Amino acid sequence: MKDAHVSKTNLSNSTPCFSALSSSSSNNSISCSNSETDESPLSSQRFSIQNVNYQFSTKCISMPNSHSHRSLAVLSGHVGPVSCLAVCGEFILSASQGRDIIVWQKPDMRFFAKFGHGDGSVKALVSIGNKVFTAHQDSRIRVWKVSRSSENVFKLVDTLPTTKDYWGKFMKQSNYVQTRRHHKHLWIEHADSISCLTVNNGLIYSGSWDKTLKVWRLSDLKCLESIKAHDDAINGLAACKGIVYSASADGKIKAWGKEGKKDSHCLKGVLEGHKDVSFNSVVVSDDGKWVYGGGSDGFVIGWEGNGSFENWKLVSETKAHNMAVLSMCLMGGFLCSGSADKNIGIWKREAFGKLCKVDVISGHEGPVKCLQASSNRIDGGFMLYSGSLDRSVRVWWVPRNNNNAQVEEENSPATLSTLNQSIISC
């Protein structure tokens, strides 16, 4: 196994619209959650750390004109550009277009395990309980289970669609759909790269470049629905309170949900962005009230909803970056955006959903493809993890009160020292 290299640094100063559809309308990307299953989540206490050689650097990363965030670590070891991240309890999972998935252990971000070789470029991943779902360029979803007895800690246990699902459908011609000229697939199969995944209410949703949204049941991994969702590739998914939002290159974000006691999903509404602009990512607040889409023109557009999908209104239209917004994540009242311009924007959600610029984080040498955040008790800030096409994962500490960041640094040396040591020490 190739050694993973970790470079860790000291703390340094371094006109859109919404169209609602009636309830009768229909149309044929790691978050980590433990509520969907009784199985225990990933835990670092189950396994011993593997022996890995580390290379540490005492050189600080210089961040001109920025005094609020802190660069804590640069994690390298991927053989390809980093494509997706997931925060899962005591672990951070990062995957790349080089087909490898690396598990890092918090808080010191030690290398823990590596898996997924040879299974196709990884485009998205989610974790639920003791299972990890990875979406690949070969149009398959792979299911990995934490194994206590196997040397390969993450053991491949299934591939979606499952063999059982295939056997139940392949004999009937009515189960086949034409994906392109002279080519047919079973409706349970994706016909192109799977670009995004999300989990909600016992279901896992997959979005693909084939323009479809598929719904899978977590309990038996059966494909329940295939929805012809968009007129172009689906690039991002987000879910909250039974509603799934799909962001597409067709410039629309669509909301999908079940109607009454029906088992199938229907189209609840459409959020439209700028003309001829692709949506690359979408996020939704925990209460489901705010939805934000990141566009290929560098804008982040936000909407406020009332829960009925009838009176959504545009609340913010922010030029966040000079190039395309590729990724976003929410942490409390903050929105973080990653861009093709290699920078990360930190935004505060103000009254009525408007975005106020707080900071710009630079350091990556390539476009920022993925972002994840986790809360941190130290100094009231949060940890931000970014993955880039430069093949690295970077770890940042972002204070929630940026206006007092310099005062906190001067008046709370012990607190910041504790944060620094939790990352630097092994």
- pLDDT for 160-177, tens place per residue? 998 887 787 767 766 677
Q: How far apart are CA 202 and CA 244, in angstroms?
A: 13
* Number of Cβ atoms within 10 Å of the Cβ of 413: 10
Could you tell me the pLDDT band of residue 375, with boundaries at 50, 70 and 90? confident
In DSSP terms, 203 is beta-bridged to 200, 217
In DSSP terms, 82 is beta-bridged to 96
Contact of 279 with 249, CB cutoff 8 Å: yes
How far out from the chain centre does Cα 212 lie? Answer: 19
Contact of 218 with 37, CB cutoff 8 Å: yes
Task: List, in order of start, the domains of the chain with CATH numbers.
Answer: 5-14+16-424 (2.130.10.10)
Could you tell me the pLDDT band of residue 402, with boundaries at 50, 70 and 90? low
Residue 408 has pLDDT above 70, yes or no: no
Q: Render 262-312 in DSSP notation, one character per residue.
A: -SSEEEEEEEE-STT--EEEEEE-TTS-EEEEEETTSEEEEEE--SSSSS-
Q: What is the rounded average pLDDT of the residues 49-70? A: 40
Give the CA radius of gyration of the chain. 21
- β strands within 11-168, DSSP E: 17-20, 32-33, 70-76, 82-88, 91-96, 101-105, 110-115, 122-128, 131-136, 141-146, 154-160
Residue 45 has pLDDT above 50, yes or no: no
- Top-confidence residue, 425 or 114: 114
Phi/psi at 242 (nearest 5 deg)?
Answer: 80, 0
Residue 396 has pLDDT above 50, yes or no: yes
The full length of the chain comes to: 426
* pLDDT on residue 416: 40
* pLDDT on residue 20: 42
- State what percent of residues in the chain have pLDDT above 70: 72
- pLDDT for 90-105, tens place per residue? 889 999 987 889 999 9
* CA-to-CA dists, residue 185 to 221, 296, 367, angstroms: 19, 31, 34
Contact of 156 with 162, CB cutoff 8 Å: no
Q: What is the rounded average pLDDT of the residues 237-258? A: 95
- pLDDT for 262-289, tens place per residue? 789 999 999 998 999 999 999 999 989 9
Whether the bond between 161 and the residue before it is cis, its omega within 30 degrees of 0, is yes
Across the chain, what does the average pLDDT equal?
Answer: 79
